[in-house]
Amino acid sequence: MRAAMWPLFAFGTVIVLAGVGACYDPPSEHYVPPVCPPPNRLTVNAAGADVSFTNDVVPIITFGCAVDTCHGSKGSGGLKLDDPEKSSNERAAAKIYPQLINQASEAHLTMKRVVAGEPENSFLMHKLDWDMCNFDTATCAHGDCGVGMPQDGEILTEAERNTVRKWIVQGAKQN
């Protein structure tokens, strides 16, 4: 009797596994949070060691953002962060910094990319926190402020985002 049940069990297992495979929804090319997160009002303490733009922020930005399909050679949103020569962090910092500080965002009509001391008013932080969906679409160019960054991969960790946030709180220095 047990031997006669084996083919039925095997057939049933194949059907169940096929059903599971049919339900699998592969992740999209770009990460999209399931719901719009509330605006991140996280505060970071500016006390303690200074966050270095060159040594702490640039590696985060270049790793996730300076890829060819985004802010690399394509220069999405008028922001071009690539370094074709793959030179030092110092050289990359010298190229990236002037594109961020007090520069108008092309996606948000009234925000600057980075406002020293004000992460809540820095469009870069909203992009990194993925909370631009909270903006009134009338303030966004073409009625859409885009998606969060980085687009081609995982959202930055809270620690990485807080490093950038603390750098802004500390005055967004070119150090």
pTM for this one?
A: 0.70
Please check the confidence at residue 30 and state whether its pLDDT lies above 60.
Answer: no
Other C-beta atoms closer than 10 Å to the C-beta of 38 total 9
Interval 114-131 mean pLDDT: 92
- AA identity, residue 55: N
Nearest-angstrom CA–CA distance, 140 and 79? 17
Nearest-angstrom CA–CA distance, 172 and 59? 15
Return the higher-pLDDT residue of 125 and 150.
125
In this prediction, residue 166 carries a pLDDT of 95
Cβ(65)–Cβ(100) under 8 Å? no
Interval 8-30 mean pLDDT: 37
Cβ(141)–Cβ(108) under 8 Å? yes
For the chain, what is the domain count?
1
Cβ burial, residue 152 (10 Å; 0-12/13-18/19+): middle
Radius of gyration of the chain, Cα coordinates, nearest whole angstrom = 22
Cβ(116)–Cβ(76) under 8 Å? no
Mean pLDDT of the chain: 73
Q: Which two tokens stand for residue 9?
A: 């069990």
Task: Give domain status of residue 159, yes or no.
Answer: yes
Task: Give domain status of residue 38, yes or no.
Answer: yes
CA neighbor of 97 nearest in space, from 55, 49, 58:
58
Task: Give domain status of residue 174, yes or no.
Answer: no
Please check the confidence at residue 163 and state whether its pLDDT lies above 50.
Answer: yes
Q: How many CA atoms lie within 13 A of 59 on its CB side?
A: 7
Task: Give domain status of residue 42, yes or no.
Answer: yes
Return the higher-pLDDT residue of 4 and 28.
4
Task: Give domain status of residue 111, yes or no.
Answer: yes
pLDDT tens digits, 42-89: 667 777 889 999 999 988 887 766 555 566 555 566 676 665 555 677
Task: Give domain status of residue 175, yes or no.
Answer: no
Expressed as residue numbers, the domain containing 162 is: 2-169
Interval 20-28 mean pLDDT: 34
